[in-house]
Structure formats: structure tokens, C-alpha cells
Amino acid sequence: MKKERTQCVTSIGGQALMEGIMMRGPFKTTVGVRKHDGTIELEEIQPLNLTKKYKLLRLPLLRGVAGMIDSLVTGNKALMLSADKAMEGEEVPEEEVSKFDQWLDKHFGEKTISFIMGASVVLGVAIAIAVFFFLPTLLFNWLASALPFLNDHMIWRSAFEGIMRIILFLIYMALVTLNKDIKRVFQYHGAEHKTIFCYEHGLDMTVENVRIQSRFHPRCGTSFIVLMLIVGILIGLFIPFTNVWLRTATKILLLPLTVGLGYELIRICGRYDNIVTRIIAAPGIWMQHLTTKEPKDEMIEVAIAAMKDVIPANGEDIIR
């Protein structure tokens, strides 16, 4: 193995998919998938690039919201593509196909996966609002009805709701990890981080060099979510409403501010390495113990292939 050369911080980021990884560079976004026959297929997709199209969206706070929208749309597109590629050539015996699957195929045909993904997003948003916004406020109201002194200071309410959201998120992530398919996605997540670290450390991108890298990266989406949860506690201090419906609605309306602040913090943590940024990044790094797993070599190969495809020749991806 070669020694490290010049270290850097790259703007290249990624997302773990079904049997694959999306890598997003400054000029190109590539989805790499391990197909059913064992080969790796690369396909370029077009992100929204909102901040490139609209200068206003490059401003602090706004760029975080634009980035979140871009990531959700592009990530969903990449996820559907990876599902198609991963299952391509895989035949399921007719007797093993459920009646529900037959109904979906009859009514939606080739758009079945798109329909399922769309329905999952809608259902997921509804559940997230109910669990992470409505439920903590409702539980605190019940608690405060028994202990009226809790209503004297908003800090109690905001801290309780924020801690409840973090606990619920931890429970959710721990439960989904039990699913073997999700665990494989988390292994690809680890491969993504390791490959980016290998590149940032100036090493040749070989399986051996990637394997020894850390799977915990400060610019991870998991860290971003954790920072949003923490920022939400601070924002909650300034929401005067105690009514569960009004408070929930206000939190949803203030989501762009939460996203914007969270993005600026994760951006700072990705660019600078000092005691302050390490403290800010620490909760997200801890959470990555759940959302990233040690990858297999064949997963690292997919990450390397996708990574190499998006690295610009002129070094324009380097931010430090």
C-alpha cells in the first residue's frame, strides 16, 4: 500500500442505494449498481442543480433548503434506477408472486416500482410528521397537565420534545437495521464513506486502500439529520404555542429555517477540522454507528467505480 500523499477535502458526496451507490461530483452524478449477474453498471443521472440555476439559492440558509430538495429528488431518482438495475434479469417463479404483486403489475406495469416509491414517500412523510412533530408535543402536554410547573419555562417543553425526537429516531434506526436488505444498504453507505476518505487522503483508490478507511464521515446525511434535530430544540424555544396542532404546524412551517441552519453547520464541519467542529459533528458521528456498516469488497468495488466516474480532471471538486 502506498503512503498518503496530499490530503484534501472534496465536494463529492454520495448516497447508498439498493445494491449500489450514487456519487455526485461538481459536474457529473453517477449511479453505480451491482447487477444480478455480478457486473457493475454505471449510469449518469441529471440532478436538479437548483443552486447552479438560481443565484439567489446560493445564499446562506437558502442553499441548505435548495440542497435538501435537490437531494430528495435526485436521491429518489437514483434509488428507483438502482432498484431497476439490481433486479434486472432476476426471475421470480410465478407461484411465488403474490396476488398484490400481480395486481400492481396489471395496473401499473413497468411503473410499479415508481408507484411503490411514490406511495412510500407520501406515507413516510405522514408518519414522520405524526411521530417526530405531533407525538412529542402531545406527550409533553399530557405530562404538563400532571406537572403544571413544566409550563413555566419553554425550555422544558423544547428540551423534552427534542430529546423525544432523538430517542424515536434512534429506535427507528435500530429497528430498520434488523432488516437484511437495509443492512446491505448501510454496508454500501460504509463503502461510500470509505471511498471518499480514501480519495481525500490522496491514496490510490484500490479495494485495499479503501478498506482501511473510517466509515464515519462528518459530511454524512445522518449527521445532517442529527444536527437538524438539535437545531430544532433551539428553534422550539421561540415557538410560543402549546396547542398541539398550532405547535406542530409552526414547526413544519419553520422546517426551512431548521434545514438551512443544519446545512450551514454540516458544511462548516466538512470544511474545517478543529475542536469546535468535532464537538458539533460528534452526535452525528455517533449516530453513524447505526447507519453505516463495514462493507464487503464487492461493495467497495462499486463505490470506487462510481467515484472515479465523477472526479473532474482539473481538481475543481477540491474545497480545501
Q: Residues 293-305, buried b or exposed e (16+ Cβ, 10 A)?
A: bebeeebbbbbbb
**SS3 (DSSP) at 272:** coil
In a domain, 96, yes or no: no
Mean pLDDT (whole number) for 24-46: 93
Please tell me which residue, 195 or 118, carries the higher pLDDT value: 195
Mean pLDDT (whole number) for 205-232: 92
Residue closest to 82 by CA, chosen among 317, 299, 311, 310: 299
CB 33 within 8 A of CB 47: no
pLDDT-based confidence at residue 85 (cuts at 50, 70, 90):
confident
Please tell me which residue, 164 or 8, carries the higher pLDDT value: 164
Please tell me which residue, 257 or 273, carries the higher pLDDT value: 257
**pLDDT at residue 99 above 60?**
no
Q: Quote the DSSP letter at residue 296.
A: P
- The structure's pTM equals 0.84
In a domain, 2, yes or no: no
Mean pLDDT (whole number) for 252-278: 90
Whole-angstrom distance, CA of residue 20 vs CA of residue 34: 6
Mean pLDDT (whole number) for 10-34: 94
pLDDT-based confidence at residue 110 (cuts at 50, 70, 90):
low
Dihedrals phi, psi of 203, to nearest 5 degrees: -95, 155
Residue closest to 305 by CA, chosen among 179, 161, 155, 191: 191
pLDDT-based confidence at residue 3 (cuts at 50, 70, 90):
very low
pLDDT-based confidence at residue 306 (cuts at 50, 70, 90):
very high
Mean pLDDT (whole number) for 94-117: 55
Average pLDDT value for the chain = 86
In a domain, 7, yes or no: no
In a domain, 6, yes or no: no
In a domain, 107, yes or no: no
SS (H, E, C) 93-108: CHHHCCHHHHHHHHHH
Enumerate helices (H) and strands (E) in the chain, giving the number of each. 13, 4
Split into its structural domains, the chain has a count of 1
In a domain, 93, yes or no: no
Whole-angstrom distance, CA of residue 195 vs CA of residue 295: 11
pLDDT-based confidence at residue 94 (cuts at 50, 70, 90):
low
- The pLDDT of residue 4: 46
Please tell me which residue, 153 or 289, carries the higher pLDDT value: 289
CB 33 within 8 A of CB 85: yes
**pLDDT at residue 105 above 70?**
no
Mean pLDDT (whole number) for 1-9: 58
**pLDDT at residue 93 above 60?**
no
Start-to-end Cα distance in the chain: 25
Whole-angstrom distance, CA of residue 107 vs CA of residue 304: 39
- The pLDDT of residue 270: 82
The residues with which 146 forms a beta bridge, in sequence order, are none
In a domain, 304, yes or no: yes
In a domain, 101, yes or no: no
pLDDT-based confidence at residue 86 (cuts at 50, 70, 90):
confident
Mean pLDDT (whole number) for 168-185: 90
- The pLDDT of residue 198: 95
- The pLDDT of residue 189: 96
Q: Alpha carbon of 130 to those of 34, 116, 168, 176, 244: distances in Å?
A: 36, 21, 12, 18, 11
**pLDDT at residue 92 above 60?**
no
Residue closest to 216 by CA, chosen among 274, 295, 288, 271: 288
Per the structure, the complete domain to which residue 163 belongs is given by: 13-88+113-310
**pLDDT at residue 316 above 90?**
no
Whole-angstrom distance, CA of residue 109 vs CA of residue 291: 33
For residue 77 the three cell numbers come to 431518482
**pLDDT at residue 34 above 60?**
yes
